[in-house]
Amino acid sequence: MKKISAMVVGCGDRATVYATEGCKNLKNMKITACVDPDISKLEMMKREFGVPADNCFASVEEAAARGKICDCVINGTMDRLHVSTTLPLLELGYDVLLEKPVCNNEKDLLALRDAAEKNGCRLFICHVLRYSPFYRKIKEVILSGEIGNIVHINTYEHVGVFLTSVSFVRGKWSKQSECGSSLLLAKCCHDIDLICWLNNDTTPDTVYSDGGRNFLIPENAPEGSGTRCLVDCPAKIREKCIFDAKPMYLDNCLLPWYPWQCTGRDYREITDEEKESSLKTYNPHGLCAYKCGGDIADHQTVSVRFKNGSYATHSVTLSSFRDGRDIFIAGTEGEIDGRLDDGKITVRHYDRKTSWYNSRVIDVNEDEETAGQHYGGDRGLVKDFVNTVAGGRTSISATTINDSVNGHILVFRADESMKKGVPVKFDKSGD
């Protein structure tokens, strides 16, 4: 297959993961242009992906002024910039792979959908989990009719202590007032999307949601704690605190591209002394986790009634101890349950011989498509997107904008319900 050419808009963590998947692993893509106001990112794109200097732009407007110069776009800007950086490119006829969440309101969501349709563009949303062999297999079992009709889907997202801290407490998704996304939108738009996709014989009718920020608040900080771990928090408090910055960021640092982003430098080039000094001074990851001013929920539960009488529930808790996702699906003729990080799916049926049940386990760990981030989801998404841009058919996981609208609207309605304390009808504009 001929390689497709792509322009990367927002050359940060996520966009470069997709670019690497396409160019270096799948080898069906080449990056021929890039946009980022940060000149060091443009330099990195020249170095790592061989982007010609003439095609490095500081803004989407500058890139758009050149017309359509490649086959498609990978947009990995932060949440608030998705709409303004995508619309001008759809107008030029680009197919776009856009990071989730699409945006934080229904008007913009439908405007993007309509712009893609009007200009005949394929707009794919990065709901990567749909492409992981784990969820794809679950979808296949449902489509095969093996568990009959869906009665209830229950999902649970456990956000581990490290991810909680680095993203939702001290990180760039900690304040809805700044990043524009709630916890449900930033983290669980994947889960709500999965629920809508797995149960897409029907559409949501009503949603109720409850939750809030009740645990990671100043009142719950250990008595006598300081405001910055390495500056004014006593050792005897730190050694019991799960959020102590030293083990988390200096000793282990599981996702190193996050806590050092505020230095403005590549995390691989920062010395230990510079890291420690940043945590003692300006780095938000050095702040007390209870007192650093985040405003998103730290736990939330969502309950959805679908038009055909089936239900779904989703819960999320920050600072769980084992990071991961569970799913249980009750059907009229069988049930499915599994845990994403185990990679095992159990399918059960009623057993007439014993009046008990029988089960079989599907193990996706051996599936070579689980390679890469998000349990194989990132690679699967890029493969499907490239294939579609090249004129091929989309897969059952396809996350086009049309497929992603219901999940996003359900998130908006759930957050509205949590705020108002009442169930909210799903109906979208134009329904």
**Interface residues toward ligand NAD, by CB under 6 A:** 9-14, 35-38, 41, 60, 76-79, 81, 85, 99-100, 126, 128, 186, 374
Which residue lies nearest ligand NAD, judged by its C-beta?
Answer: 12
By the 8 A CB rule, do 402 and 109 touch? no
CB-CB contact of 396 with 144 (8 Å): no
| Number of alpha helices (DSSP H) and beta strands (DSSP E) in the chain | 16, 15
**CA separation for the pair 172, 187 (Å, rounded):** 12
- The residue among 100 and 339 lying less far from ligand NAD, judged by its C-beta, is 100
Spatial separation of the C-alpha atoms in residues 390 and 71, rounded to whole Å: 9
* Minimum distance, C-beta of residue 19 to ligand NAD, in the bound complex (Å): 11
Q: Give the shortest CB-197-to-ligand NAD separation in angstroms.
A: 15
* Residues 329/147, Cβ–Cβ less than 8 Å: yes
Residue 37 or 309: which CB sits closer to ligand NAD? 37
- Phi/psi at 315 (nearest 5 deg)? -130, 150
Nearer to ligand NAD, 76 or 372 (CB): 76
User: At closest approach, how far in Å is the CB of 102 from ligand NAD?
Assistant: 9
CB of 408 to ligand NAD, least distance (A): 13
* Shortest spacing between CB 362 and ligand NAD, in angstroms: 23
Sheet with 4-9: list strands edge to edge: 56-57, 29-35, 4-9, 72-75, 95-98, 123-125
- With respect to ligand NAD, which residue has the nearer C-beta, 9 or 169? 9
Which CB sits closer to ligand NAD, 225 or 261?
261
Determine the Cα–Cα distance for residues 43 and 20; give it in Å rounded to an integer.
16
63-66, Cβ contacts within 8 angstroms, sequence gap of 24 or more: 63/7, 63/9, 63/33, 63/35, 63/89, 64/88, 64/89, 64/91, 64/92
Of 225 and 397, which CB lies nearer to ligand NAD in the complex structure?
Answer: 397
Alpha carbon distances (Å) from 284 to 238, 249, 292, 417: 17, 12, 8, 31
204 in Cβ contact with 196 (< 8 Å): yes
Nearer to ligand NAD, 173 or 426 (CB): 173
**Residue 24: CB minimum distance to ligand NAD, A:** 17
Sign of CA dihedral 183, 186, 187, 192: positive
Question: Nearest distance from residue 173's CB to ligand NAD, in Å?
Answer: 7
Cβ pair 412, 105 in contact under 8 A: yes
CB of 27 to ligand NAD, least distance (A): 22
d(CA 56, CA 37): 10
Q: Which is nearer to ligand NAD, 102 or 161 (CB)?
A: 102
Residue (60 or 245) nearer to ligand NAD, CB: 60
Report the DSSP pairing between strands 311-320 and 95-98. Answer: unpaired
Closest separation in Å from C-beta 44 to ligand NAD: 9
Cβ proximity to ligand NAD: between 275 and 374 the closer is 374
Q: Which residue has the tokens 């809030």?
A: 212
Buried-state track 404-431, b at ≥16 Cβ within 10 A, e below 16:
bbbbbbbbbbbbebbeeeeebebebeee
Tell me how far, at minimum, the Cβ of 395 lies from ligand NAD, in Å: 17
| DSSP β-bridge partners for residue 346 | 337, 361
